Amino acid sequence: MRGLSECAGGLRAEAANAAKPSANKLEKARAKTSSKLTAAATNAVKLAVKKHVVFDPAPDVSAFVGSVDALIDDTSDQLTGN
C-alpha cells in the first residue's frame, strides 16, 4: 500500500529519537516523512482523478497529513509516558 511506509517513517523517527535523543535529527526526519506522505497522498488523488474518480468534497491532503502527524505525536507521547 502506497503511503504506508511514509506513515511508518514518522514512528521510526520517534523510535530512533527515543534510543538516541536529538531534537534536530527528529525534526528533520519528521519533516522528511511528512513531505513524503504529502507527495504520496497528492499522487494518489491525482491518479484517482485520472481514473475518473469524482471527489465531493475534494480531498484535503494537508489535513490528512496533519492528522497522521498528530497520530504519530499521540502514539509517541503514550509510549514515552508524556
Phi-psi region of 3 (alpha: psi -120 to 50; beta: other; left: phi over 0): left
In this predicted structure, the answer to whether residue 28 has a pLDDT above a threshold of 90 is yes
Question: What is the spatial distance between Cα 58 and Cα 49, in angstroms, rounded to a whole number?
Answer: 10
Q: Is pLDDT of 1 > 60?
A: no
Cell 509517541 found at? 76
Q: What is the mean pLDDT of residues 56-61?
A: 96
Model confidence, pTM: 0.83
Whether 58 has a pLDDT exceeding 90, the answer reads yes
Which residues, in sequence order, are CB contacts of 12 under 8 Å at separation 6+? 29, 33
What is the model's pLDDT at position 3? 63
- Give the residue extent of every domain in the chain: 4-80
- Position 7 scores a pLDDT of 74
Locate 26 and state its grid cell.
527528529
